[in-house]
Amino acid sequence: MQESKLKLELVCSALLLALLLGVAPWALDAFRLNLMGKYLAFAFVAIGVVITWGYGGILSLGQGIFFGLGGYMLAMFLKLEASAPELPDFMVWSSVEQLPLWWQPFQSLGWTLLGIAVLPVALAYLFSYAVFKKRVGGVYFAIVTLALALTLTVLIVGQQGDTGGANGITDFRTLLGRPIVGEGPQRTLYFVEVLVLAVVMGLALFVVRSRLGKVLVAIRDQEGRVRFSGYNTAHIKAAVFALAAFFCALGGAFYTLQVGLIAPSALGVVASVEMVIFAAVGGRLSVVGAVLGAVLVGFLRSYLSETFPEIWLYFLGALFLVVVLVLPNGLFGLLDQYFLLRKRKRPMLLPVHKDMSV
């Protein structure tokens, strides 16, 4: 990352975090602040897309898989707490007589958090390493991940007694006995989410700024040469893909807390494609652009779906086409170009030499 671009990225990140922490909680009502928290949950995913797609050239259309894993695992813990000592209601409706074995670990918050941190990362690494080892990439990798997202959605919908089916997991109001609904808890949760998002942004900037980021860009541009130089490109790409999966799982967990439910629609094909749109609109080479894109597209989607409920998806598709054709580097790329042109037009001051002759 160039020094000028890094400086602009850091300044914009500081301004954005200042707005999120110092302005948004006081300028937005409880409903809009909850919407902001929901869109910031998608910002975690968009940051992962920036690292994998923007810097690594790995286009995944299945990031909703890991987003859903994080959301469902936390929802399972919250649902067990809300229904204790009885079984969750959807299990009772499906005539399930005892808690399934794979639900058992989610009776503990510690095991739940460990699962959110480890399971998506492990699955992402093992799957992607196997694919990249076969030198499968580009559009083929995108198609495979898209098919996996669709498969997982069908699987969850079909297992009504274990997953809640198409309705998902809902109706939980406490976390360790403390309420998570209401204006006060939601405001506290919003601040926690923004602080965690700030850490994730810092980690992402560190990665793209580090030697790993430079190698990742080299793999994106000339993978054959990097492999010939002795690097295990499959391992590097899988590791970065696993890091993005971790970000997705964090976003899914916060989404569950903010929305109060998790359903198959949050991890399906449409949701996964939208996650790529967030990064594309904000800038697929910008971490802060990914956050900005998630928030802007999120609020735009809400406005369009309320105003044009029948055709709002066409507006969203048109937005993606405009960005790809006109603004390939997104809104942040446009801002970067503006400051670059200003710098070039700035007049150069030549030193003045005094005449020393007598």
What is the number of alpha carbons within 13 Å of residue 183 lying toward its C-beta?
7
What band does 347 get if pLDDT is binned at 50, 70 and 90?
Answer: low
- Using the predicted structure, report yes or no on whether residue 85 has a pLDDT greater than 90: no
Separation of CA 64 from chain center: 9
Partners of residue 68 on adjacent β-strands: none
What band does 310 get if pLDDT is binned at 50, 70 and 90?
Answer: confident
How does DSSP assign 320-350, residue by residue?
Answer: HHHHHHH-TTHHHHHHHHHHHHHHHHSPPPP
Nearest to 21 by CA among 148, 232, 190, 267: 190
Nearest to 54 by CA among 328, 250, 284: 284
What band does 307 get if pLDDT is binned at 50, 70 and 90?
Answer: confident
Which tens digits make up the pLDDT trace of 196-240? 999 999 999 999 989 999 999 999 998 889 999 889 999 999 999
Which tens digits make up the pLDDT trace of 10-50? 888 999 999 999 999 999 888 889 999 999 999 999 999 99
Q: Is-contact 241 128, C-beta < 8 A?
A: yes
Distances from the Cα of 174 to the Cα of 79, 81, 83, 116, 195, angstroms: 9, 8, 11, 19, 21
Distances from the Cα of 10 to the Cα of 198, 201, 202, 278, 288, angstroms: 11, 10, 9, 20, 8
pLDDT of residue 234: 93
pLDDT of residue 284: 86
pLDDT of residue 309: 76
What band does 123 get if pLDDT is binned at 50, 70 and 90?
Answer: very high
Nearest to 20 by CA among 216, 238, 283, 292: 292
pLDDT of residue 357: 47
Distances from the Cα of 35 to the Cα of 13, 16, 31, 191, 196, angstroms: 20, 17, 6, 14, 17
| Rounded distance between C-alpha atoms, residue 115 and residue 211, angstroms | 29
What band does 159 get if pLDDT is binned at 50, 70 and 90?
Answer: confident
Mean pLDDT of the 109-127 span: 95
Which tens digits make up the pLDDT trace of 53-84? 999 999 999 999 999 999 999 999 999 998 88
What band does 343 get if pLDDT is binned at 50, 70 and 90?
Answer: low
Mean pLDDT of the 305-334 span: 78
Q: Kindly state the percentage of the chain with pLDDT values over 90.
A: 50
> Higher-confidence residue: 249 or 1?
249
Pairing of strands 178-179, 261-262: unpaired
| Rounded distance between C-alpha atoms, residue 84 and residue 198, angstroms | 35
| Rounded distance between C-alpha atoms, residue 39 and residue 20, angstroms | 12
Is the preceding peptide bond at 85 cis, omega within 30 degrees of 0? yes
Mean pLDDT of the 108-115 span: 94
Backbone angles phi, psi at 13, to 5 degrees: -65, -45
What band does 89 get if pLDDT is binned at 50, 70 and 90?
Answer: confident
pLDDT of residue 356: 47
Handedness of CA 261, 264, 269, 270 (dihedral sign): negative
Element at 169 (helix H, strand E): strand 169-170
State the average pLDDT for the chain.
87
- The answer to which of 176-185, 244-253, 308-317 has the lowest mean pLDDT is 308-317
pLDDT of residue 355: 52
The structure's pTM equals 0.91
- Using the predicted structure, report yes or no on whether residue 353 has a pLDDT greater than 70: no
Pairing of strands 261-262, 169-170: antiparallel
What band does 358 get if pLDDT is binned at 50, 70 and 90?
Answer: very low
pLDDT of residue 346: 61
